[in-house]
A and B are shown apart, each in its own frame.
Chain A
């Protein structure tokens, strides 16, 4: 869907925004061409799905990656003169490399992959290959269940945002360009019969007047208590805090990271600027943006919400203040 709509010109101005020059890296892979022959078809598909935001969101990407890796492991045959714990890791690495070339890994994917590598290295060399593979696949299933599925259920329960409670409430979904991910949420909630109000970032100062609680999703929680999430989250949290509305972050502990961050510049993801062109609009003046010198489009994916704006974090183990995130992170790593 995102085939490059512009013909390559021999000499082109650098359209990278100087402040984020360190984040551009190689352009995202658009085709399968040049992918290593080791890469499993499931992973090939997954990479493109993630690239085109068919699979989007920290948890979904994590689950999809683990499921794809399960298929990789199932199809894996240890080459002669090699042991599974040693070789499987390198085999996975080429899969991961491909995924990164499609879209940078999410924090949750990084955490899950690290866990999987540890699991693989723990496999006893003497174990029979088929048994080891089954063990690993079961471990992956357990991981998904434990860290994501059950965690989500627990968070849901703790957050008492379950619809079954029959409390009457209204949800205001604040969405943003260019992905409009909120539409899916709004649609899902509306289909359940919940009263939904939908607005975009520009209306935040208006809709906050009616809100009594703000729930935020997370891409990751940093070890200094800051929330790293879809760009625009910080605006919502700030507006809510100013209006004395509690801000609650729902976040599985798989999304905790030992990383710290102070601004949205050092660590971030810059998506292809073409995504900012309005879809389905052929007359948009922006289509010519590449021909306009000195014009740059910035399509930032994430921003960092200061810990002061966050009242509470809910994860599968309970409620905690954002300052407790590093402790929980240590616990979840050591467990």
Chain B
């Protein structure tokens, strides 16, 4: 195995270390991650998401861009590179979209903050704000005339307003209506590099849903025409974006625990629960329930790709087996230690046992916008057997696994694994004569799923798209690689 980082085999841990160290340039971190993805040395949704978020945080931190639209474009391009390095790990794209969303949101909030800041400072009464804004709408839109017509009152307050921006976000009144009217009259795209520092990146907008009112802050800021203040604003914004990415990382860390928080709402006493393959999410969920309830878990081992992890799950891991994807959480209690009876079965026995199973709880690799999931191979037959026995199938998934991508070609999301796991080298003689199939994933259609539980709660399959809409911005949905070549 190639080992660019030295002693350790490249993995999420080594990447995390290298991306944090000051000695490694951002470009080489990007290249490193791209190759890690390509070589599948970082795989599975969570590690991919974490690595992507860490890289993007570094990118934002170190970016010297003075223009937010350039930052967005840079994140987009890096995102495209990462996605094309491993298009089947949809969580990479999810995180890139989330980060873009954070940047866009901060830009907008900043803008809102400023306008509200002005009005507060000017009149000290919010209800009047729209009126005041409206009164400004007829301003001529050329630069020269603006500097003449705007009240000098606002110049002096520039600095304090900028300072407020960071702390006062939650209290800002929504000013969208006034913005709208304002924007309509003020559409001249006169943004040049210095003046557009905080402006909405018009040049980038592919979607017609771009937020209106985007020009107003640049106009006000341009009045101050102080490079210092501008730089401060970008720095502030950068800090906020970094904070936003940090929150995403936090979410990635906490998702499993948050999902587990809903466990008691779904598991009753004396239940027989069937689960499949090794999953930290499912294990935490069941452990949480095990603290209060007694039930039985039937665990299908997901041979031949995940059985080792499954066995380790039921037996309990030792230190030496720690996997970077699970980091410190590895050493947690097993279900059996919590007093739960665990029955380990080969995958083939799933149908035989299904009639006595009350619930099937599945982990997933990805949830697509229509509710279809990509899960470990074997999950489809399992879900189908559950459906035939009218056993509910519950899918646990962090929000970061919800992808806004519509699966036009489900087969493209499938992946084949190492055939030597199916036929070992002892049977090498007939390997030449036969074709070996070892799929890693199954595509489970939404009809087979009864309920999704994310870190936000339980959702009906039909409601999923709302959650997805809440988390991704329309203008970022199309991160398509083909854009690069436009």
Contacts and interface: CB of A to CB of B under 8 A. Distances in A.
Contacts of A136: none
- Say what secondary structure dominates the interface of chain A: mixed
B436 interface: yes
B340 A207 contact: no
B439 A206 contact: yes
B315 interface: yes
Contact of A201 (B337, B347, B352): B347
Contacts of A284: 308, 311
B434 A198 contact: yes
B352 A234 contact: yes
Given A17-B343, A294-B340, A304 B352 contact: yes
A187 B430 contact: yes
Interface residues of A, number: 56
Contacts of A235: 348, 350-351, 381, 385
A296 B434 contact: no
Given A191-B433, A285-B315, A292-B315, A202 B344 contact: no
Contacts of A265: 352, 355-356
Interface in B279-323: 302-305, 307-308, 311-312, 314-317, 321
B434 A196 contact: yes
B314 A295 contact: yes
A292 B334 contact: yes
Contacts of B311: 284-286
Interface in A83-109: none
A224 interface: no
A238 B388 contact: yes
A312 B43 CA distance: 44
B336 A197 contact: no
Nearest to A300: B349
A294 B336 contact: yes
Given A177-B346, A196-B434, A292 B314 contact: yes
Contacts of A206: 377, 414, 437, 439, 442
Contacts of B422: 198-200
Contacts of A177: 303, 346-348
Closest 5 CB pairs of A and B: A232-B348, A264-B352, A303-B352, A190-B433, A202-B378
29 contacts: A19-B353, A172-B437, A177-B303, A178-B346, A190-B433, A197-B437, A198-B435, A199-B437, A200-B347, A200-B438, A201-B303, A201-B378, A201-B381, A202-B303, A202-B442, A204-B381, A205-B442, A206-B414, A235-B381, A242-B384, A264-B351, A284-B311, A292-B334, A294-B335, A296-B341, A297-B345, A298-B345, A299-B346, A300-B352
